[in-house]
Structure 1
Amino acid sequence: MASISMTERATSGSTGSNVDPSLTRHQAIEIHPLDNIKVDLNEEGTVRRWTVGTNNLKANKTVLLMGATGVGKSTLINYIANYILGVNFEDNKRFQLIPDEKKSQTASQTTAITVYEIFGHEGDRVPFSVTIIDTPGFGDTNGIEQDQLITKNLQELFESENGVHQIDAVCFVVREDEVRLTLTQRYIFESILSIFGKDIENNILALITFARGGKHPPPALKAIKEAGIPCSKEKLKFNITSFTNRSADPQIITDNKRSWAMGEKSMTKFINLLTTLETRSLLLTQEVLAERRHLEACIDGIEDQLKVTLDKQIELKEIQNVLKENKEMIEAQRDFEFVVTTNELVRVDSEKMATNCNNCEMTCHLRCPLAPQKLLFLCDAMRNRQCKICPGKCSWKDHVKEKVVYQMTPKVVKKTYNNIKVEYGQGLGGKITAEDVEEKIQSEIQESEDKGNKLLETSYKCVARLEEIALRPNPLTAEEYIDLLIYRETENINRVKKLQEMKAKALLISSMTKEKLEQGTGWVLKKMKGWTSHD
């Protein structure tokens, strides 16, 4: 068949091949790495594009593939590439689009998003060029922090000038034998769906791996439906073990041929679906991402205000106790010393860039990677070139991007009764009671709560907008999944602490309703004390 000449043309100048030494010349399959041009789309190299062939500006279809670690996604992508290049089962060569990086992967590579472009092979099989967005395996042993980095890299890809701005299909890769989605799988699917706008719903497909054939719907499709994941009913089944598996055993040869034919049939369906599905712009998805980032900045701001409120309450209780214990000294106008825990505002070096307000002396956005100093009005804390996080709602020009964060640090200090009188406005000649201190500190607490309430209102607006535009406004599996990770984590106390913080934020967002908003930050304080009271 002429397909071999097509594939040979695709690998001109190939650096070599790998052959299984255990097979005879007749049985062996040669693995040829596909020549490609590699370009990093961000400074870290975690969003990258690998291009096979030359862009001829003809019709193109873009698909995104995602799945848990171990579902065979990389081999499936290699199979899709070989189908596009015209490879048949009988051919003794296969082309490798995705190299085996497992042994040499760095931490950044495990979260890297790779865009594979295949140009110049439009023909009877595939009438258009194909772009495949490959996401690393979610739910890996590196934990939820890695999953968040993968999501961030996807955001960069969709928002980058040289990135991907439209999509034809979002594909979940899942094993056929999954009769019920695990909590991890549900978390993966929900997390990805939460990135997209509602207009993507009809473009979601399931690619079933390790399939055994047969006319009955794969159990995995039923599992996806029962989990409430929107997905096409099309049966797109692949048995990727047949990709490079060769044997002299007649039965294995027959099974492999049948598996390959099943894959080709599914690929024909897949290509036809891509032809009929409406190409979706990612503009609505970009708005979803922007709302989520602004919501995260608001939640961080609420956390800071809650910490101030709780710390003020602790300070109030300590001073009140001291004044009650020294009532006789106060009546006699005698000075006395005591110690109290107070908080000192300090600037702390940080590994990550943050957006700080020079006027309010506070950190308005932690982990701010996207907006450079001259474009700080694009920071997630900003709306209409004005910060929505700092109390002064200051202009973006009053902010600075630096590797420093403002923190309130607990400090035990010595004070005297005279210090307290001056501090609370009575002067050295007057008296001050526990009630006077309570009145003063309560006003400070109220001021802090008012700031938190404003952030809460902004957060609610983000949540309400996400309800309108996001495919998954609030992934309900997040808290359950984090509970599972906490249960599994037995040694790393700091990791457990971080997971508990993540769970608290997820709970806060999922609890955010109009009725709760009207109650102010009081309900948050009751529910989230464990979140904000850690050291």
Structure 2
Amino acid sequence: MQEIELNSFIEENVVFDSEGGGLQRYNLQSTVKIRDEENKIRVLCVGSSNNKPSTCVLLLGETGAGKTTIVNAFVNFIFGVKFEDNFRIQVKDQIDSSNRKETESQTDYITVYVIYHQEGMVCHHNFIVIDTPGLADTRGMQEQGNVMDRLEMFLTSDFGIDELSCIGLVAKANTNRDFSFQKDILGEIISLLGNEVPEVTNLFATFAVEKPMVDQIVRNAGVQFSNMFELDNGVLYAPHKLSSSIHKRDRGMLSYRWENMIEQYERLFAALVNAPSVNVKLLREKKLLDKSLKILKVQVEDLAKLLTALEMNKKMLSKYELQEAKNREWRQERIVKRKDRLSIEEGFHAHNCPTCDQTCIFPCPPEKENSKAGFIGGIAGALGGSAAGAAAVQTTLNSAAVITRAATSTGFAASVGGWVTRALGGTVAASEIGAIGGVPGILVGGAVGITIGVVTGACCGKFLSQGSCAFPSRGDVCGERGCLHSLSQHIKEGERIREYNDLEVKINNDVKELFDVAVSKKADANVKISIGRQKILAYKKQVAQDTLQMLFHVKKIQEISLTRDPINPQDRLDKLIAEVRLGQPDHIHHAVGIIKLLKKAVAKLSTCKVNQLSDNVNVIMKFLENFQK
């Protein structure tokens, strides 16, 4: 029944390829599970997945050693193909390999064949075989380096291979070539997968019709392996249709070789079942842990450099703030008193003191308009009196200080009124009369002013007709605006001297240059500080993520290895501290400080489960956020 089911499975999963020598060749149909074109890796599956354990064989060997033929032999053995059957099963050849030379690898891809167990198969578990590109072909060492890099990437990445049951070192049984290259390759794999590799390494001697000599050659090269299997795979596709003269003898020989081949594969599969396996998943996690620690180291050092740069920019900011404050007084301002001369209305003049350089008496009326003197005096008196009365009202309402402002606000008229009063030499001034108070003051002041103006008009006319100003009765001393000089020394001019306040600005260009540089550099420092803080925050988040990634791999290793080979994340971080101490001196203290904080964060997360780690970025950020703000 099981054989019937297996035959039915074969019929459903193979496609006719070719026929020759009495044998029909069928390509095994597979489903592409993974196809990585960049790294040339593909995973092909045959059958339906199940939860049965798997046996995994990795094939390594030089070009032409027969690795792909071993894969086909595995397939025929697993599916129970017999010598007398007129068909053979094979994996499909890689596309576009027909034009390659025999000295070039016919397999560019690392191809994983996953054959899921079917009832009736020889083995009672899933079988995985990994076919790799040929080593030491004529395309040179660079191509070999690429193959090794891809193989390392494959073994340390999650392509579904968790355990490695066997590393099959494939070599021709009669070869006498130097195996130092294969030794180097195995050395790299040992460094990658660990010291358990020799225990699962087996020598597959292909084309083994006679006693193989390759085992001694391999041992002399220093390559360690556990067992050697003589695989005469040449009989796999031997033709069935032979000439009648040699048919009986050759067929018997081929049948004998087939039985020997099957015996070797039975022995091999028995060894695979009982042999220890290399936990690729554990080794992969260790490799990923080392990689995550390297990444974390780089991120921590970059963060430390940013913190050092931030400190320098802060120092520059302080420096230029002090320079700005020190040179802030590059612009000096002061109020200075200045004087200039203003022209007076035609016909009037002013009396200017040359010693005081000021106008003492202003304005004085025209000297030759006698007929109008009485009228001018009257008007002046009226205006002066009215002004004095108004000043009295303001005195009543406001204060004594406003009296003077109101009295003088009449401008030119008040000045004329004052001149008339001085000319008369009277002791009663219009402002004094107006100061008696209130509305009566306005009436009295106005009346008195008009009366005095009319009376004095004639007097003014008399003085003016004589060509002299009306101030002889004041005596010889001026007394105006603090002037104590003789009136006779004053100069009568058509201009008056005005005194005013002016703003004087003095600029020190050297100090200004220092100030401008400080302002510019301070702005640059502020921009750098702002950008630096943004970068620091981003790097802190990245460091937190990388720390969680490192801790994830530590916990995965602890889960896989259980109590064996325990890994302490604190020890790994201590080792990281020792490594960063060898870095650039200017940021070592920051790097060490960051890692010490990470140790505290990791200790806090020690009880956290693997599937909960990704939710704890903020825990690490709380430790980092206040570090050297």
TM-score, with structure 2 as normaliser: 0.44
CA distance in 2, matches of 1:6, 1:88: 14
Alpha-carbon deviation of 1:287? 6.8
Give CA-to-partner distance per residue, 1:428-449, whole Å, 9 cap, x none: xxxxxxxxxxxxxxxxxxxxxx
The one of 226, 251, 256 equivalent to 1:253 is 251
Matching residue of 2:166:
169
Residues in 2 aligned to 1:159 and 1:185: alpha-carbon distance in whole angstroms: 21
Structure 1: which amino acid aligns with 2:262? E
Give the superposition deviation at 1:208.
1.0
More helix by share: 2
1:278 pairs with one of 255, 262, 276? 276
Match of residue 150, structure 1, among 147, 152, 159: 147
Match of residue 70, structure 1, among 60, 64, 75: 64
Distance in 2, Cα, partners of 1:373 & 1:140: 44
Secondary structure of the equivalent of 1:17?
A: strand
| Contact persistence 1:179–1:222 (CA under 8 A) | no
SS state at 2:196 partner:
helix
How far apart, CA to CA, are the structure 2 residues paired with 1:373 and 1:138? 40
Question: C-alpha deviations, 1:275-311, integer Å up to 9, x for none?
Answer: 11122212564377569979999xxxxxxxxxxxxxx
Amino acid at match of 1:155: E
1:176/1:210 contact within 8 Å kept = yes
> What does 1:224-243 correspond to in 2, within 5 Å?
224-233=218-227, 235-243=228-236
CA distance, structure 1, for counterparts of residue 109 and residue 130 of structure 2 = 11
Please point out which of 199, 204, 222 is paired with 1:202. Answer: 199
The verdict on how the C-alpha distance between 1:46 and 1:296 changes in structure 2, with shifts beyond 3 A counting, is farther
RMSD: 4.1
Match of 2:98 among 65, 89, 103: 103
Shift of 1:19: 0.9
Distance apart, 1:3 and its partner CA: 5.2
Letter in 1 for 2:19: V
Alignment deviations for residues 316-362 of structure 1 (CA, whole Å, 9 cap, x no partner): xxxxxxxxxxxxxxxxxxxxxxxxxxxxxxxxxxxxxxxxxx99xxx
Residue identity matched to 1:197 = G
Deviation at 1:152, TM superposition (A): 2.2
Q: Distance in 1 between matches of 2:184 and 2:4?
A: 42
CA deviation after TM superposition for structure 1 residue 65, in Å: 0.8
One of 264, 267, 270 as aligned partner of 1:269: 267
CA 1:14–1:125 in 2, change beyond 3 Å: closer, same or farther? closer
CA contact (8 A) 1:62 1:168 kept: yes
Q: How far apart are 1:114 and its partner, in Å?
A: 1.1
Task: Give the C-alpha shift of residue 267 in structure 1.
Answer: 0.6
- Amino acid paired to 2:98: K
Map of 1:27-66 to 2, 5 A cutoff? 28-40=22-34, 42=36, 44=38, 46-66=40-60
CA contact (8 A) 1:84 1:121 kept: no
1:92 CA drift (Å): 0.9
Give the match's secondary structure for 1:32: strand
**What residue in structure 2 maps to residue 411 of structure 1?**
none
**Using the alignment, how far apart are the partners of 2:161 and 2:131 within structure 1?**
12
Alpha-carbon distance in 2 for matches of 1:241, 1:4: 28
Distance 1:43 1:245, change over 3 A: closer
- Asked if 1:113 corresponds to 2:107, the answer is no
* Maintained 8 Å contact 1:205/1:232: yes
**In 2, Cα distance between equivalents of 1:156 and 1:165:** 14
1:272–1:50 CA distance, 2 compared to 1 (3 A): same
Q: Provide Cα deviations, 1:412-433, integer angstroms capped at 9, x if missing partner.
A: xxxxxxxxxxxxxxxxxxxxxx
State the partner residue of 1:89.
83
SS in 2 for 1:58: coil
Q: Which residue of 1 aligns with 2:129?
A: 132
CA distance in structure 1 between the aligned counterparts of 2:171 and 2:293, rounded to whole angstroms: 31
Q: Quick one: distance in 2 between partners of 1:254 and 1:100?
A: 34
* CA-to-aligned-CA distance 1:475-514 (integer Å, 9 cap, x gap): xxxxxxxxxxxxxxxxxxxxxxxxxxxxxxxxxxxxxxxx
Structure 2 residue identity aligned to 1:103? S
Q: Distance in 2 between matches of 1:291 and 1:142?
A: 34
Q: 1:35 to 1:96 in 2, by over 3 A?
A: same
What is the CA distance between 1:196 and its match in structure 2?
2.3
Amino acid at match of 2:142: E
Q: CA shift at 1:80, angstroms?
A: 0.7
TM-superposed deviation, 1:55: 1.4
User: How far apart are residue 180 of structure 1 and its match?
Assistant: 5.4
Amino acid at match of 2:275: L
Correspondence for 1:494: none
Contact 2:94 2:107 in 1 (8 A): no
- Counterpart position of 1:80: 74
Q: Secondary structure at the match of 2:75?
A: helix
Q: For the residues of structure 2 that align with 1:244 and 1:149, how far apart are their CA atoms?
A: 33
Q: Deviations over 1:46-81 (max 9, x none)?
A: 121000111121121111111000111101110111
Tell me which residue corresponds to 1:301.
Answer: none
Hey, what's the Cα distance between the residues in 2 that align with 1:265 and 1:203?
20
Please state how far the C-alpha of 1:134 moved relative to its aligned partner: 1.2
Structure 1 residues not aligned, in runs of 5+: 298-357, 360-371, 396-535
Q: In structure 2, what is the Cα distance between the partners aligned to 1:47 and 1:93?
A: 30
Q: Which one-letter code corresponds to 1:16 in the other structure?
A: F
The residue correspondences of 1:94-493 to structure 2 (distance < 5 A) are 94-101=88-95, 102-103=97-98, 110-121=107-118, 123=120, 125-179=122-176, 181-213=178-210, 218-233=212-227, 235-246=228-239, 247-248=241-242, 249-250=246-247, 251-283=249-281, 285-286=283-284, 391=584
- For 1:66, the aligned partner's letter is L
Question: Cα distance, 1:141 vs. partner?
Answer: 1.6
Read off the aligned partner of 2:126 and give its amino acid letter: S
Q: Is the 8 A contact 2:117 2:124 kept in 1?
A: no
- Contact kept? 2:32, 2:43, Cα under 8 Å: yes
Q: 1:375: how far off?
A: 7.4
Q: Is the 8 A contact 2:190 2:196 kept in 1?
A: no
CA shift digits 1:132-186 (9 cap, x unpaired): 1111111122222222222222223223234312111111011111245344444
Cα offset, 1:223, TM superposition: 1.6
The 2-side partners of 1:237 and 1:38 are apart by 32
Residues 296 and 242 (structure 1), Cα distance of their counterparts in 2 relative to 1, 3 Å cut: farther
Other structure's SS at 1:136 match: coil
Aligned length: 313
Q: CA deviation at 1:273?
A: 0.4
2:396 is aligned to none
Hey, what's the Cα distance between the residues in 2 that align with 1:288 and 1:109?
A: 33
Q: 1:187 to 1:255 in 2, by over 3 A?
A: farther
Question: Who is 1:9 aligned against?
Answer: 9
Q: 1:256 to 1:165 in 2, by over 3 A?
A: same
1-structure distance, mates of 2:155, 2:93:
24
User: 8 Å contact 2:14–2:26 — kept in the other structure?
Assistant: yes
Write the distance in 2 (CA, Å) between the matches of 1:95 and 1:127: 20
